[in-house]
Amino acid sequence: MENTYDNKDRRVQFINCSKCLENLPKDKSPAEYANTQMGFTKKGFQIWCNRHNLDVANYDLLGQKITLATTTE
C-alpha cells in the first residue's frame, strides 16, 4: 500500500533558531530570515542553523520505522 498525503501545508507550529529570532530584522519574517537545514541522524533527524552554527532541534524517533510519503495531485 502506497503512503500518500495531500500536499497542503499541515504545520501547526514552526521551529526557529532562537538566536535568529533575537536578531530578526524588522522587515523580515522568521521564514524569510531562516537559514536552516534538516537531515537524518542515526537515531532520527536534526535541524541545524547555518547562520549561528548551532543545533536547533534534534529528534530521536525511538527506533520507529518511517517511510517517505508521496504527494497526490
- pLDDT single digits (tens) 27-48: 999 999 999 999 999 999 999 9
Does residue 9 surpass a pLDDT of 90?
A: no
Domain containing residue 48: 25-65
Q: Which one, of 57, 58, 52, lies nearest residue 15 by Cα?
A: 57
> Quick check: 30 and 14 in contact, CB under 8 A?
yes
User: Is it the case that residue 50 has pLDDT exceeding 70?
Assistant: yes
Evaluate whether residue 11 is within a structural domain: no
> In this structure, how many other beta carbons lie within 10 angstroms of the beta carbon of residue 42?
5
Q: What is the count of structural domains for the chain?
A: 1
Query: 39 in a domain, yes or no?
Result: yes
Residue 71 has pLDDT above 70, yes or no: no
